[in-house]
Structures are given as C-alpha cells and as structure tokens.
Chain A
Amino acid sequence: MATQFRSPAQRLARRQLRTPRRVSASEDRTLISPLDKRRASVRIGYGLMYLLLALGALVVVIPLYWLFIDGFKNSNELYVLPPSWWPQDPQWNGWGDNNFVHAWQNAQLDVHLRNSLVLVGGSVVLQALVSVTAAYSLSKLRPAFSNIILAFFFATLLVPPVTYIVAQYIDINNLGLGNDNWMFLGVLLPEAASAFNLYILKSFFDDLPEEILDAARIDGANALDTLLRIVLPMSKAVLAVITILTIMASWKDFLWPYVVMAGSQDQQPLMVSLYYDWNNRAGAILSDNVMFAAFFLVAIPPVILFLIFQRQILRGISLSGLTG
C-alpha cells in the first residue's frame, strides 16, 4: 500500500533535487558557438581561458599545498626563506613519530575532536527536533494561528544573530547554560533558533501532495506516524542536503563557541582550541610545524565529506543561496 502512495511524490521529490542530466550536444550551447571555435582568434582565446582557469586552480591549491607540506618540515626548515617546496629533512620517523602524531597528542586533538563531534551531532539532532517538527506542523497540521507563528519564526531571518551576540551570551548564562557541560547546550540551542532550514523544509513539505496524507489519516495514522512513515521517507533528499550542510557548518563554526567556551579548554571544539594554541595558550606552546600538521588534520574531514556528498552539497548551495 505504502509504496503505491509513495511513488508519485518521490518522483516529484527526485525531480526537484536532481542535478540536471547531461543535455545533448545541440542543447548544450553556451556563449561560444561551435562556429566561433573555427576562428583562429577564438581558438587562441579558448586556450587563454584554460590558462586562466589553471592559474586560478593554482591559487586555490598552493595554500593547501603549504598546509600539507609544512607539516613535514622540522622547526628550523619551516622558517628557511624562501620556503622550500620539498622538505629537506622530512619529520617522519614512522607512523608513530611525526608532527601529525605530535599534534594529535600535544594539542589534545582527541579531546577537542570529541567536543566537535558532540556539537556536530547535537546540531543535527536539534535540527530534527526543532526545524523538522515545526516545518511539518506549519505545513501539514496547520493549527489555528499558525500564520502568526510562521511570521514569528521567519521574521528572525531578517536579523543576523551576531548583532545580538552580547544579549545572547548574557541570556545563556542567566539560564545556567554557561557552565560545565551545559555549555554544549549553550552553544547548540541558540544556533538551533535559525529559521533557515525551517524555511527550506517547509517549502519542501508544502509540495508533498495532500491526498497521501489524507489517505494515511483515514487509515488511522496519527500525526507522528504520518511524519515518520510518510513525510520523512518522501523527504530523504532534502533532509540529506540540510543535514550535510548542518554538519559542515558546525565543524567550521568559530565565533559563538569561541565566546561561550572561552574559559574552558576541556569543552572547546577543535577550531576554538586550535585558535588558542595558535596564540600560545599558557603552558602548552606548540611549534609551528606541529600546528601545520594539526590544521591539516582538521581540514581532512570536511574535504572527505565534500567529496562523498558533492551532489547534495552543490545542490544545497543553489537551494539555500537563492530560496533562503
């Protein structure tokens, strides 16, 4: 039964979230036409375009190259100028003794990785708890006065959270979320109060056909059943996009956890902790080559996630960039 219901809406969902299929050669026409390409001047221009793109790619890649290679240098070679493109004396005494392992130990990356993962996981859970439920209610249950509540949520999109960061900090401290492990909630809850994903989810739920939900209701499904068994399975694609973007944003997040967790090293996520290491946290001075190794390590997870979930992320850019 359920599969019969699901298929049309799933097709709809797929159509909305699908990256455009490759079009045939005649459709794939851009500014420069095949006719243009026969002209010598255009062909030279075409070559120049590749040259420009290659140059741009170099500008992108070179800082990343230094990020990687400087983690292999010793403390003296790191400051040799001009910088050496290849480490003369690579700091690699096996997998157990190198700058990357020293970074892991001396910067306590394990502790801060755990903190980062708590924040990443927490932001995803709160996402489901706050945005998904609210979007479902506003889109499908529509209780009385839901338009007023909708305005109450969406009006916050007009106000960038950084402008009220001082009051927010005082607020979470007054609520007791500024101490000990409550800090994690102190970081997470204010960030969950973002109507951005709520907006994307609601516009997606709005497009799910009402008949399916009505049919489920007649079959005796309650609101929670309908959400879990019909709405969410039909929204897998959009949920994937939002989840992956939430994870990436949470991993990068700096200002707010930096403010909330300033005084408590044990709770700091990677980015905050590494910023303190950069500025020589008292008592634990890390050399620059170890810092390079540490920054290289924290750059790996988002790059891997990006390579795996490329489609969802690129899709999310156009979703969030232009609808939000």
Chain B
Amino acid sequence: MTFGSRVRLAISRNAMGYLFLLPAIVVFALFAWFPIVQTFRLAFVHYQDDNLTMPTHWVGLDNFSHLLTDPTLQPSFGAIWWNTLEFTLLALVFGYIVPITLALLINEVRLGRSFFRVIFYVPVILPTLVGTWVWNKVIFDADPQGFLNNILAWFHIPPQPFITDQTQAMPCVVVFATWAAAGGAMLIYLAALQGIPAHLYEAAEIDGASLWARLWHITLPHIRVVMVIMALLQIIATMQVFAEPYTLTAGGPSGATTTVMVAIYDLAFGGGGNQDWNEAAAFGVLLFLILTFFSILYYVVMRRVARR
C-alpha cells in the first residue's frame, strides 16, 4: 500500500466514522449538553416578564436565596427536602427488605419458581398511572369500610386515614412505590443468588455450619456488592421521584408528599400563579449536584467491581 492510498484510507475511515457519529453528536449537543449548561445559566439570571426571548440580567445567588424564603412555595423549601428524604429513606428500607426476601424465598423453592418470578414482575411493567389509580380509588380508601381498612378490621386495628392524612400519606406512597418496583430489584438479587457456587454451601454444610450461619457467611457476603450497587441506584432513582406522589396524592395533603421534582414541576409548569423558571432552574441545580454526586459514586463502585 502506498503512502498516498494509506492517507486516503485514513481520511475516508474518519469521514465515515464521523458521518455515523453525526446524528448522536447533534442530538446530544442540542438536547443534553445545551440544556445542562442552560440550567446553570437560568439559575443565576432573571428573565423579564417570563418572556423567554427578552434580555436577561445576572442576579447571582438571588434565585437560590429566594427559594429559601419563597412564601408561595407550598410546603416550605425545608419541608420539601424533608419529604424527599423521608421518601428516599423509607423506600430504601422497603426496597431492601422486600426484594431481598422475595429473591431468597424464590431461590429456595423449586415448584412454581418461574411463576412467582413473573407475578412479582408484573407491577413493574405497568404504567405508574394504572397503579396509582387503583391504589388511590380502592386500596387506600380512607372510609372505615374501605378495602384496606376492612382488612385491618380483621385484626381489630381501627380505621386509618391513609393518603388523606399528612403523616400517613408519605408511607402510603412508599408502600405503593415498593409494590410497583420491588420486582425489578428482586430479579437482580435473584441473578446474584444464582451466581453463588454450590460447592460453598456443600463445604459449609460438611463443616457443620447451621442454616443461619450459611445465610450470614455465604449468601449475604456474596450479594453484598450487588446490595451496595442497588442502594446507590435506588437513592438516585428515588430522589427524583415524580409520578408516584404526583398522581397518587397530588403532592398533598397540604404538601405532605411534595417531593423536590413535584415542587420543581409546580414552580415551572404548575400554573398556580407563582410560576418562576429561574427558581425552578435553581432548584434543579441543587438536585443536579446531589444526584450527580451519587452517580459518580455509583460509577466509582462499578469500576472497582469491574476491576476485580
């Protein structure tokens, strides 16, 4: 091959390479990088009259400080973060216990294993709205004769207000979210459990290890890495929760289930007369910083796992 033809080949290879990259570069530049940068700009400027083509002026941290004291924000800035934290922590606890228990049980049973695997995954594939509709209308019916209250009555538990009560609403959203999502985590734990080599259990048994000792010293250490990864993924997913509280409880009652994303939505698109793009963008920047921190943590963990 002559030098000239080699150069031509390199050029044509690069040209083809970039031609194939072009759609993705355009789409990512316009619809990922540009809005990301724009979010930061929006958070530090003020648009005049909500007219997006009007000139803007720099206001420094004004949008952030206004968020802290904004009287139109319902509930307050602090309460919104508290709600989000409550959802994240409760969802983490439920999101650990339920899927791991299900995976451990399903892994042990022989008969009906694939049946249970499919059944528990069905809520995951359903649109969130379908689930929230039924739970809102039937399951969490606050009437003393409502579905869940009827079942509680079997155990002589007095009727509960569920989603109509400020303190119970968020746990209810978490219960629903767990119902809707546990199947996905269960499958991942199940895959991890099936990767545990059988000879470890056999060896432990020969050494006289009890069932609990085997669970504690073989099973759990083997799924520990997956548990860490799942915790991070879950924190990232639950901190940005929107559809569940928005459609099940509409952020209420009295803002008790207004999470950060619900608040951002209301600020930007809610149309309640207190619309403020810039405040919404500032809120987005705060969420961005927290979620990106956890995302980076996730990739650091994944890299370590991959290297082992």
Contact = CB atoms under 8 A, between A and B. Distances in A.
B107 to A, nearest CB: 5
A293 B264 CA distance: 32
Contacts of B17: 137, 141-144, 146, 223
A167 B130 contact: no
Contacts of B202: 29, 33
B296 interface: yes
A126 B27 CA distance: 10
Nearest to A63: B134
Interface of A: 20, 26-33, 35-36, 42, 46, 49-50, 52-53, 56-57, 59-64, 66-67, 70, 81-83, 126, 129-131, 133-134, 136-138, 141-144, 146, 149, 152-153, 156-175, 189-190, 192-193, 195, 198, 222-223, 227, 248, 251-252, 254-255, 259, 262, 271, 274-275, 278, 288, 291-292, 295, 298-299, 302-303, 305-307, 310, 313-314, 317-318, 321-322
Contact of B27 (A59, A60, A130): A130
B155 interface: no
Contact of A318 (B126, B191, B247): B191
Contacts of B291: 159-160, 163
B243 A254 contact: yes
Per DSSP, chain A at the interface is: helix
B129 A153 contact: no
Nearest to B107: A30
Contacts of A146: 17, 21
A275 B133 CA distance: 9
10 contacts: A33-B201, A141-B16, A165-B264, A165-B284, A171-B31, A172-B31, A189-B27, A193-B30, A305-B125, A307-B118
* 4 shortest interchain CB distances as A-B pairs: A143-B17, A134-B24, A81-B145, A29-B198
Contacts of A313: 125
Contact of B30 (A189, A251, A298, A322): A189
Contact of A159 (B21, B24, B265, B288): B288
Contact of B109 (A53, A59, A60, A306): A53
B93 interface: no
Given A158-B295, A252-B127, A255-B261, 7 more contacts: A30-B107, A31-B214, A67-B133, A83-B146, A134-B21, A156-B28, A174-B52
A322 B116 contact: no
Nearest to B201: A29
A137 B21 contact: yes
A70 B147 CA distance: 13
Contact of A254 (B13, B112, B129, B147): B129
B226 A322 contact: yes
A52 B218 CA distance: 23
B39 interface: yes
B58 interface: no
B87 to A, nearest CB: 15
Given A166-B284, A271-B127, A129 B23 contact: yes
Interface of B: 13-18, 20-21, 23-25, 27-28, 30-36, 38-39, 42, 52, 101-102, 104-109, 112, 116-123, 125-131, 133-135, 137-139, 141, 143, 145-147, 150, 179, 184, 187-188, 191, 193-194, 196, 198, 201-202, 205, 211, 214-215, 218-219, 226, 229, 233, 236, 240, 242-243, 247, 261, 264-265, 268-269, 277, 280-281, 284-285, 287-288, 291-292, 295-296, 299
A296 to B, nearest CB: 8
A295 B133 contact: yes
Contacts of B117: 314
Contacts of B105: 49, 52-53
B281 A167 contact: yes
A75 B292 CA distance: 48
Which residue among A61, A142, A251, A299 has the maximum number of chain B CB atoms within 10 Å of its CB? A299
Contacts of A175: 30
A173 B193 CA distance: 48
A133 B21 contact: yes
Contacts of B265: 165, 255, 259
Given A56-B102, A158-B299, A223 B20 contact: yes
Contacts of A141: 13, 16-17, 20
B236 A67 contact: no
B236 A160 contact: yes
A138 B24 CA distance: 11
A295 to B, nearest CB: 5
B125 to A, nearest CB: 5
A85 B227 CA distance: 40
B118 A310 contact: yes
B127 A299 contact: yes
B240 A160 contact: yes
